[in-house]
């Protein structure tokens, strides 16, 4: 069975600092995508970043970047220069057969 594990239920970071959220997954698939979504208090699920498993280069989107270790099945998210608007629940998700499997989420609080 495919599973996604986020071992940090809550994290806190000071504004302008850098924080890393962890995610591991388990699958026997060779072709898949990995995602980070954020869900702020408004509850709208927003795509943060995407990584295709066949690409060795780590994805980046402005202040957001990932560390994708395929052999270790690890997919962490780094947020640089944290902003108050980054406060949200962050979900790591694995996709195969057009179905997303989510982790339990990490609640990130950015402190002023």
Partner 1 sequence: KAGVTQTPRYLIKTRGQQVTLSCSPISGHRSVSWYQQTPGQGLQFLFEYFSETQRNKGNFPGRFSGRQFSNSRSEMNVSTLELGDSALYLCASSLDTRTLGTQYFGPGTRLTVL
* Region near partner 1 per CB under 8 A, out of 7-15, 18-26, 60-68, 94-102: 94-102
Least Cβ distance, residue 93 to partner 1 (angstroms): 8
Count the site residues for partner 1 by CB under 8 A: 24
C-alpha to C-alpha distance for 44 and 64, rounded to whole angstroms: 19
Residue 62 makes contact with partner 1 by CB under 8 A: no
Which pair of tokens denotes residue 35? 């995602």
Helix ranges, the chain (H): none
DSSP symbols for 46-68:
EEEEEEETT--SPPEETTEEEEE
- Residues in contact with partner 1 by CB under 8 A are 31-33, 35, 37, 42-47, 50, 91, 95-105
């Amino acid at each position: 069975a495919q599973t996604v594990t986020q071992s940090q239920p809550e994290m806190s970071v000071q504004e302008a600092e850098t924080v890393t959220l962890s995610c591991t997954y388990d699958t026997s698939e060779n072709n898949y995508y990995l995602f980070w979504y954020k869900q702020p208090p408004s509850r709208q699920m927003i795509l943060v970043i995407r990584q295709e498993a066949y690409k060795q280069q780590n994805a980046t989107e402005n202040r957001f970047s990932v560390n994708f270790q395929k052999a270790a099945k690890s997919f962490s998210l780094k947020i640089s220069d944290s902003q108050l608007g980054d406060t949200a629940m962050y979900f790591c998700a694995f996709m195969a057969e057009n179905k997303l499997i989510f982790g339990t989420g990490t609640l990130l609080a950015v402190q002023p």
